[in-house]
Amino acid sequence: MARGCAALTLALLLPLCPWAHAQPLAAPTQVRFVAQTLQHVLHWEPAEDAPRDALYNVEYRLYGSGNWMPAPKCRVISEFSCDLTNETLEPTKRYYAQVRAVSGNRTSAWTRTNAFSPREATLRLAGVHLSVTGNTIHVSVQLPLRVGNVTVSYTELYKHSRQYLVLVNRTSDHEQVQYVCTTETIVISDLSWGEQYCVRLQPRIISRPNPGIWTEEKCISIPVKDEKMELISTIVGIALFIFVALVLLGTLFICMYIRRPMGTPAVLKSLIKQSTLWAEQEHFSGGGMDISTVRSLSMCPKDTAQRARLDSSSEMALPVLDEDCMVHGDQECLLQCSALPAGDSSCSSTDSGICLQISSSDLSQPPGSESQGYQRQLPQGDDSGISLANSPRARWRGG
């Protein structure tokens, strides 16, 4: 009887003892990061005997630091996941996280993850942008990713060894073609006119085993081929090529024409000859010989027989002037010719056939009146048979 009363009393007092409900809860299991690029979510599973009203607390810390920090958004929550993206953004760092269950005044032990790095996350892209030119599709990879109020570029996280697998699907017959590219701008050319193509991408990192997520598929249509515009483009291209060729040939011809040696024009030659004769006249007038006494110009044959007949005539022939004397007006050469004997015809060897024929009666005339006659009778062309002679009484004046 006494034992029955003691057992009844114990049964009634047991619920009133606080230590009767202080048994620890079972800890959560499978605590891990499920991370995509800039989406770092901590996941876990509740214990098998965990009460239905169990809540959870989450903490994290930086690798190498001993201080655990509570996750502001993951305190006493009922969900089995916690977004720790903002707390684990630094790609070069490593992080830990831990979870425990809470039910009333009972708690479970902490369950901790392995070290986690943001670069180990599954690769993802913000999307792709498509544009078409002719039968060519231009694919632009959309790199910026947004985390709350922070925008981070994919290329900042993975600066090297980026690669993209491009899958192009033709919707008419579902023919697929794959491309592997290493740039963020991809050109897919030589596609069929009038067809629709759908494109999606999968990012990869050559130096890492990170898996990649395919982007959402986007489609775009290639326009029907315009043969008239193609013909116009061809004609314009050919015309432009011909125009450029003509410009180059014209430029080459002009350069060759400018650089070729130029001959003296006939008009300029005539002016030079007249100025030379004028210089001779001035030289003769100033050097002692009065060129104004020349009365006339006569053709004098160059051959020896004709010269001999002139030497035997009653008029004394002036010495035949050398061509150098007539052209250059050399007074010394002129004086040498004047010193030759009257009947000597030796100057015929270098004689240009020009002789001054001056009558003795004209030597006494004023110089001014005869110089005009000389100017009127000067030869206009190249004549090798013109001679100037004087009478037997002619003599040099001045000097």
- List, for residues 86-123, the tens digit of each pLDDT value: 999 888 899 999 999 999 889 999 999 999 999 899 99
- Write down all domains in the chain, each with its CATH number in brackets: 21-120 (2.60.40.10), 127-221 (2.60.40.10), 270-389 (no CATH)
Structure tokens at 27: 């800890």
Q: For 30-35, what is the mean pLDDT?
A: 95
Structure tokens at 172: 């008419």
Q: For 269-287, what is the mean pLDDT?
A: 69
pLDDT at 286: 53
Other CB atoms closer than 10 Å to residue 370's CB: what's the count?
Answer: 19
Q: What is the dihedral of CA 342, 347, 351, 353, to 10 degrees?
A: 20
pLDDT at 77: 94
pLDDT at 277: 77
381: confidence class by pLDDT, cuts 50, 70, 90: very low
List, in order, residues 6 or more apart from 164 with CB less than 8 Å away.
Answer: 141, 180, 181, 182, 184, 186, 201, 202, 203, 204
CA angle 89, 91, 96 (to 5 degrees): 70
Structure tokens at 117: 């790095």
pLDDT at 323: 43
Q: How far apart are the first and last CA of the chain?
A: 187
Instruction: Return d(Cα 154, Cα 162) in angstroms, integer.
Output: 10
392: confidence class by pLDDT, cuts 50, 70, 90: very low
3-state secondary structure 163-228: EEEEEEEECCCCEEEEEEECCCEEEECCCCCCCEEEEEEEEEECCCCCCECCCCCEEEECCCCCHH
Rounded to two decimals, the pTM is 0.52
Q: For 321-335, what is the mean pLDDT?
A: 43
Q: Is the pLDDT of residue 257 over 60?
A: yes
Most confident of 30-34, 295-299, 358-362: 30-34
Q: Is the pLDDT of residue 125 over 60?
A: yes
pLDDT at 285: 58
pLDDT at 273: 78
Cα 157 from chain centroid (whole Å): 33
Q: Are strands 356-357 and 386-389 parallel, antiparallel or unpaired?
A: parallel
**Between 1 and 273, residue with greater pLDDT:** 273
pLDDT at 212: 94
Most confident of 48-57, 306-315, 346-355, 363-372: 48-57
Residues written for the chain:
399
26-35, 46-55, 148-157, 305-314, range with the lowest pLDDT: 305-314
